[in-house]
Structure 1
Amino acid sequence: MQSIEVEELNPKLSRFRTMFKAAVEKQKPWRRNAKTDYKFYFGDQWDESDRQALRKQKRPAITINRVRPFINLISGYQRINRYEPDFKPRTAKDLDLCKVRKGVTKYIMDSCKFNKQESRYFMDGTIGGLGWAEVSYEFDYHAMDGKVCIKRRSPFDIYIDPESREPDLSDAEYVIDAKWVSKNDLIRTYPEFKEDIETFTQLRDQDEDLDNEELEPVWYDAKKKKCRLITVWYKDYKQKTYYAVGGQIVTKENLIPGMIPTQTFRVPQTEIRCYVMLGDVELEDIPSPYKHGRFPFVPYYAYYIGEEGEEPAGIVRDLQDVQREHNKRRSQFLHLINTMANRGWFLRKGQPQAKKQLETAGSTPGVVIEYEQDPPKQFDTTQVPAAFAQFDNQASEDFREISGINEAMLGQEMAAGISGKAIELRQRQAVTQVAGLFDNLRETKEMILHLLWGSQGAPGLIPQYYTEEKTFRILGDNGQEEFVTVNQQQVVGYDWLGNAIHQTLNDLSVGEFDVVISEAPATPTQRIAQYYGLLELLKLMPPNVQMLFADMVIEASDFDNKEELKQRLQAALQPQAPPQQLPPGQGGGPPPGQPGQPGIVPQGVAAQAMQAAL
């Protein structure tokens, strides 16, 4: 069980241990800085050495957390401006299938609470610079059914190939998932390795400094009694042979006896495999359970380009020095205020009673001290430097300039006389400065959608696992909930032997489409803005033209029962057939076309309703 023996007995295990240590070494600087970022967000913003120095001087060390409001504002903006996935057909026959895919995607994302998971890894990115999402398929043996899951993963659990530069991991040779688990959980998962697992933990318990790592243990945490389960998702390269037969390209499995290939050639193939180990114990080495040919992890970078030596960073990284300066200055300011209350006294020697009274109650308001000789004289009043207020204003300006969040976006009061249009422009300016954060978030969402649906010849999790007939609740074009059945078998005819010919309706594994992210956020705030924009546009149109867009106004609104409203409006706009006219003298009314003709709804009624809305 010693590591030296592993080098000789299992070269593959030695290889993956080396890969993991290289990834750990590469991420050490980022992990150190990211931990500090998280501390600043949660209010732990003082170095222990500075805190101890102030404590010895009997000075306060206060914390006024200016970082958290900025991060919470960015997070709140993301939560109310979410972007919906969409599917664009490549052929006309794929239009209906794209609508089904959009509905199924929305259903799956709702079932795994994707909005919450997205906000969590977005917060990880804005704080520490890097967030992770895992896209997997989990099977419930109690219900005997499984589902696709999208979860936020701790950024401190994922390690990537040190040579990787691309944000989409396309150039990464491996991604490592390193989770802390208990010994009992490991034994339940791998009962055949019970003896090896117990031996591993016993060795580590005997020598707590076996790893001697700067930040945290690599293989075992003796304090928490947790093991590091290492799962390496890596690329394996093989050669696959193809044959040219009669103008077709086939594999060896598709060769029919008697076929004579005219040409044989080999093509390199990339396969994703999964290697699991516990320290120096190899647990399994299997092909990836997913057919999309990608790693099941998706990163979210806040600020990252991919150059050599660069590490991901978030908003907090640039605010740390400003926050430290702000805390120290406020602590000094509080110290001055505290010392002003008891500035000290000048007292002639030989007055022990007066000295004792001044020491105990000299700064107490309304105190009365008797003295027999020269009266005591107080030290000169220490004035608070006026520069303190200037520094405080400068710090607030530094926070806004560095973060890109101005007072308009913070909702703070601006100078009097500024128009609403100017405030809106200031808010847009702030949004422009942080637009890169949300552009990267959209890219992360696109990568998640590719894992869900895959590509031609490499199906994603949905077409791979959702192969049986299943009914989903989706949102239809009219905004109403509908139910659609996928992979439904339907008899379309019979062959000459009388066997039924089946056709699969809403087959999730066929069709060609492009995955895109909508440009307009599908949130109530954005919908209301678009609704009022439509009303402003209609105001420029004549009343008779406005009526042509009445149904669009209702559709763009968030009214309850808007389908019923549209139906009533259409009924009011459609002229009804006049009743049969009776001859004069038998109760007949005016001839058709004359004023007062019954059965015709005046156009002015609907027009007045539209004008009221405008």
Structure 2
Amino acid sequence: MSMDDSQITRTQWHRYVRARDAGHKEYVEEARKFDAFYYGEQWSEADRRVLEEAGRPALTINHILPAVNTVLGEQAANRADIRFKPRRKADADRAMMLQKLVQYILDDQKYDWKESEVFADGLINDRGYFDVRIDFDHNAFGEVKLDVEDPADIIPDPDAKSYDPEDWKEFFKTRWTSIDDIEVEYGKEKADAIRAHAELADHDDTLDCYRFQTTFGDTRSVAGQHGNEDRTIRSVRIVERQWRRPHKAKVFVGARGDIRPVPDAWTDDRAAAFARDNQLQIIDKTIMKIRWTVTAGNQVLHDDWSPYTRFTIVPFFPYYRRGRPFGMVRNLISPQEQHNKLSSQELHIVNTTANSGWMVEEGSLADGMSVNDLEREGAKTGLVLRYNPGTTAPSKIQPNQIPTGIDRLSMKSQASIRDISGIHDAMQGNASAEMSGRALQSQISRGQVQVQKPLDNLARTRHMIAQVILSLVQEYYTEERVLFISNDLDPNAEDEELVINQKTAEGIHNDITLGEYGIVVTQQPATDTFRDSQFNEAMQLASAGVPIPPHILVEYSHLAKRTEIADMLKRQQGMAEPTEQEMQMAQFQQQAQIQDIKLELGKKQAALQKLLAETGHIEAKTASEADPAAIQNQIRIMELQADVQKHLQQLEARIQLSEQSHKAQQKRQEQTSLTQMRGQNLQQETQISTAWINANRKDGEQRPARNDDAQTDE
């Protein structure tokens, strides 16, 4: 190992230990406790054992679960709606294209479900994290990938006080992995070096770096107890650090002084052409750039400049105050523990008062019953006691009265949970049956105000997600791509074809790499809820007299065969897309109408010629005087000429309509064929690119933190 690698690993480990000891270890323990309380494991083992030995109950009445689930339901009912507004060097068409592309990426990555996971992590564990980067595993050109990270694996900058990672100096991602996985991902040489270092290292130096297990099944991970010769490595801690440091780089400078870094993936020619087309200058400037370092033990697995202009991590914090994030469960633990203890104590008092004991004169019990028998059987229902004549009858000991107010203490603790969480009975569907609808809606609205802050911070996280995706798309989606977008509201509808960066003779059409865009993030109801609201509004408008077509109402309904019914209604109204057979029939009818017009036109023209000849003959015979027959013929000639002109116009219109219909049909067929050809070409290009990458990748090649990052560097 070189001196540089030794310095890198030493610095990396010291920075990791500093961040870990600045509160992350305590946070991990707290997060485990928060998870346990959400699951319902709300008693420590020591407390439960003491209660069991004393014969006392340990009740768990979990009020945290429904409170958290109510807020999770609020999030699940409202999904992200991301839109882009054109700003500089952009237009509305490209903004709409970007909006569809980003929505396609989010749908492909199952973003809604992953967002629910991150939101739950934030509410329960105080923190939730996305990881957004370019992945090359399934696409040779690369595609945006979103992952959900375990909050225990992410260590944010301990010195940061901002919600946005753009203001952080560094963050760590750490995980335990096997030595075999390291060999597969980073090569045999690295794995052997880590194995050799672990076998010779002292226990104090490897407490948080290696996990050992002795041979023959002993899974204890403490090193040094049995000597170095009989232990093997179970797992190794990989420390991944993304951090900012000054770097001299090329940047674009606009006429107004705006500065944008030149993407690392761009060649000098492309950067120069982009600067020339947009009236920009390229200068050298020292900027803060992201460095990506990955180490394991004393080995540097990867150390290079990050291929991204942002950290790959995107956080979600339900509540955030000056660098201290916290969630919903943290403040509910104390009242929940109080409620469990009071409920358990209340049950214990009831149990003890139900069998308080007996006062028995010695030798008074008859039928051979002993005091031990009475102790064992004395609490049974319907017990009959016989005692010897002349002795004092056995009597029950008068139990102590239940302390006044203990039941009210339990109710107070329950009310504290409700007040702290902000989740009232109305939001959980437990409102009184006597409550009016207006009052119920008012209570629900007031309760929703209590949970607006986590949802507002979720909107902030969504905005950062959109920023990261926009940055990755404009930097890496540079080649022509054909995407097919589905209609969520109508799964049976045909997919919409979306072509980006299309190369034409005039240049690149739909070039999404150009321009700056503003991001607008709103929320809309989930698909089923949105369909219900649209259906109700459409029915109200139709009832008010708005002429909404019937097939629109059917499409917004929940009928099992709504698509077939809507198509039938559209055909009845003449609004449906014609089938191939219907188009052929329409074309045949158009041709028949053209022939009829031609025949009628021929008849009119023949009659006109005959009438003109007769009129000329009459005029020749009676040139000296006006003939009434000639005047009548002139009137008839004018009518026939008007009819001929009318038929000519109808013929011309029918011919034009037929030509337009034929051209539309040809265009539709050409688009279908072109779409199929593009899909085949894209598949072939992907296979060729993947085969080329695999053929040129050397065995044992060192790779960065993840496969997608290695291929990005290539």
Normalised TM-score (structure 2)? 0.67
Tell me which moved more, 551-560 or 59-68.
551-560
Higher helix share: 2
Q: Report deviation, 1:489.
A: 4.2
Aligned to 2:495, the other structure's residue is in SS state strand
Does 2:47 match 1:45? no
Which of 120, 124, 148 is the equivalent residue of 1:123?
Answer: 120
Who is 1:406 aligned against? Answer: 424
- Provide, for residues 221-252 of structure 1, a one-character-per-residue CA deviation record: whole Å limited to 9, x for no partner: 765722111111111212347899x9999999
Which of 436, 443, 468 is the equivalent residue of 1:451?
Answer: 468
Q: Which segments of 5 or more consecutive residues in structure 2 lack a partner in the other structure?
A: 214-219, 222-233, 273-280, 576-714
Give 1:193's aligned amino acid.
Answer: K
Which of 318, 322, 325 is the equivalent residue of 1:312?
Answer: 325
Does 2:553 match 1:547? no
Give 2:464's aligned amino acid.
Answer: M
Distance 2:519 2:112 in 1: 18
Aligned to 1:150, the other structure's residue is in SS state strand
For the structure 1 residues 102 and 474, does the alpha-carbon distance in structure 2 shift closer, same or farther, using more than 3 Å as the test?
A: farther
Structure-to-structure mapping, 1:529-608, within 5 angstroms:
529=533, 531-533=535-537, 535-536=539-540, 543=545, 546-547=546-547, 560-561=562-563, 564=567, 567=570
Structure-to-structure mapping, 1:437-516, within 5 angstroms:
437-454=454-471, 460-461=472-473, 463-465=475-477, 467-475=479-487, 480-487=493-500, 489-492=502-505, 503-516=507-520
Who is 2:296 aligned against? Answer: 278
Q: Report deviation, 1:327.
A: 0.7
For the structure 1 residues 322 and 356, does the alpha-carbon distance in structure 2 shift closer, same or farther, using more than 3 Å as the test?
A: same
For the structure 1 residues 64 and 371, does the alpha-carbon distance in structure 2 shift closer, same or farther, using more than 3 Å as the test?
A: same
Are the aligned partners of 1:196 and 1:281 in contact in 2 as well (CA < 8 Å)?
Answer: yes
Q: Report deviation, 1:265.
A: 7.3
Does 2:364 match 1:347? no
Distance 2:361 2:152 in 1: 65
Aligned to 2:529, the other structure's residue is in SS state helix
Who is 2:383 aligned against? Answer: 367
- Provide, for residues 502-537 of structure 1, a one-character-per-residue CA deviation record: whole Å limited to 9, x for no partner: 522333322432222124435432453355356557
Aligned to 2:440, the other structure's residue is in SS state helix
Aligned to 1:401, the other structure's residue is in SS state helix
Count of paired positions:
530
For the structure 1 residues 555 and 236, does the alpha-carbon distance in structure 2 shift closer, same or farther, using more than 3 Å as the test?
A: farther
Does 2:251 match 1:239? no
Are the aligned partners of 2:474 and 2:514 in contact in 1 as well (CA < 8 Å)?
Answer: no
Aligned to 1:83, the other structure's residue is in SS state strand
Q: Report deviation, 1:450.
A: 1.3
Are the aligned partners of 1:88 and 1:513 in contact in 2 as well (CA < 8 Å)?
Answer: yes
Which of 31, 35, 50 is the equivalent residue of 1:34?
Answer: 31
Tell me which moved more, 361-370 or 526-535.
526-535
Who is 1:56 aligned against? Answer: 53
Give 1:430's aligned amino acid.
Answer: G
Distance 1:129 1:243 in 2: 40
- Provide, for residues 381-433 of structure 1, a one-character-per-residue CA deviation record: whole Å limited to 9, x for no partner: 444445243233323321211101111101003262x2111111111111111
Normalised TM-score (structure 1)? 0.77
Which of 143, 148, 153 is the equivalent residue of 1:147?
Answer: 143
Which of 5, 9, 12 is the equivalent residue of 2:8?
Answer: 12
Which of 402, 410, 431 is the equivalent residue of 1:392?
Answer: 410
Give 1:152's aligned amino acid.
Answer: V
Give 1:15's aligned amino acid.
Answer: T
Who is 2:647 aligned against? Answer: none
Are the aligned partners of 1:486 and 1:507 in contact in 2 as well (CA < 8 Å)?
Answer: no
For the structure 1 residues 383 and 527, does the alpha-carbon distance in structure 2 shift closer, same or farther, using more than 3 Å as the test?
A: farther
Distance 2:292 2:508 in 1: 34
Does 2:438 match 1:421? yes
Looking at CA atoms only, which structure, 1 or 2, has the larger radius of gyration? Answer: 2
Distance 2:147 2:200 in 1: 34
Who is 2:398 aligned against? Answer: 380
Distance 1:295 1:195 in 2: 31
Are the aligned partners of 2:310 and 2:468 in contact in 1 as well (CA < 8 Å)?
Answer: yes
Aligned to 1:33, the other structure's residue is in SS state helix
For the structure 1 residues 269 and 344, does the alpha-carbon distance in structure 2 shift closer, same or farther, using more than 3 Å as the test?
A: same
Distance 1:563 1:273 in 2: 57
Distance 1:378 1:419 in 2: 51
- Provide, for residues 43-66 of structure 1, a one-character-per-residue CA deviation record: whole Å limited to 9, x for no partner: 121133432332332211121111
For the structure 1 residues 265 and 200, does the alpha-carbon distance in structure 2 shift closer, same or farther, using more than 3 Å as the test?
A: same
Q: Report deviation, 1:435.
A: 0.6
Give 2:305's aligned amino acid.
Answer: P
Distance 1:77 1:489 in 2: 41
Give 1:323's aligned amino acid.
Answer: Q
Which of 523, 528, 534 is the equivalent residue of 2:532?
Answer: 528
Q: Which segments of 5 or more consecutive residues in structure 1 lack a partner in the other structure?
A: 257-262, 455-459, 493-501, 573-614
Aligned to 2:311, the other structure's residue is in SS state coil
Give 1:227's aligned amino acid.
Answer: V
Aligned to 1:410, the other structure's residue is in SS state coil
Give 1:185's aligned amino acid.
Answer: D
Distance 2:520 2:115 in 1: 17
Distance 2:104 2:320 in 1: 32
Give 2:419's aligned amino acid.
Answer: E
Does 2:148 match 1:136? no
Q: Report deviation, 1:140.
A: 2.2
RMSD between aligned residues = 3.7
Tell me which moved more, 388-397 or 146-155.
388-397
Aligned to 2:166, the other structure's residue is in SS state coil
- Provide, for residues 258-294 of structure 1, a one-character-per-residue CA deviation record: whole Å limited to 9, x for no partner: xxxxx9975222221210101222222022133xx10
Tell me which moved more, 355-364 or 400-409.
355-364
Are the aligned partners of 2:198 and 2:210 in contact in 1 as well (CA < 8 Å)?
Answer: no
Who is 2:312 aligned against? Answer: 296
Which of 86, 110, 130 is the equivalent residue of 1:89?
Answer: 86
Q: Report deviation, 1:565.
A: 8.1
Are the aligned partners of 1:531 and 1:553 in contact in 2 as well (CA < 8 Å)?
Answer: yes
Who is 1:583 aligned against? Answer: none
Give 1:464's aligned amino acid.
Answer: Y
Aligned to 1:508, the other structure's residue is in SS state coil
Distance 1:57 1:518 in 2: 56
Who is 1:80 aligned against? Answer: 77
Are the aligned partners of 2:488 and 2:527 in contact in 1 as well (CA < 8 Å)?
Answer: no
Tell me which moved more, 72-81 or 466-475.
466-475
- What percentage of residue pairs aligned between the two structures are identical? 28
Distance 2:165 2:362 in 1: 79
- Provide, for residues 453-476 of structure 1, a one-character-per-residue CA deviation record: whole Å limited to 9, x for no partner: 11xxxxx14640462433332449
Which of 108, 112, 118 is the equivalent residue of 2:109?
Answer: 112
Distance 1:147 1:83 in 2: 21
For the structure 1 residues 375 and 97, does the alpha-carbon distance in structure 2 shift closer, same or farther, using more than 3 Å as the test?
A: same
For the structure 1 residues 90 and 404, does the alpha-carbon distance in structure 2 shift closer, same or farther, using more than 3 Å as the test?
A: same
Give 1:318's aligned amino acid.
Answer: N
- Provide, for residues 351-391 of structure 1, a one-character-per-residue CA deviation record: whole Å limited to 9, x for no partner: 58431221221112223343323221111144444524323
Are the aligned partners of 1:83 and 1:522 in contact in 2 as well (CA < 8 Å)?
Answer: no
Give 2:299's aligned amino acid.
Answer: V
Structure-to-structure mapping, 1:155-194, within 5 angstroms:
155-191=151-187, 192-194=189-191
Are the aligned partners of 2:424 and 2:447 in contact in 1 as well (CA < 8 Å)?
Answer: yes
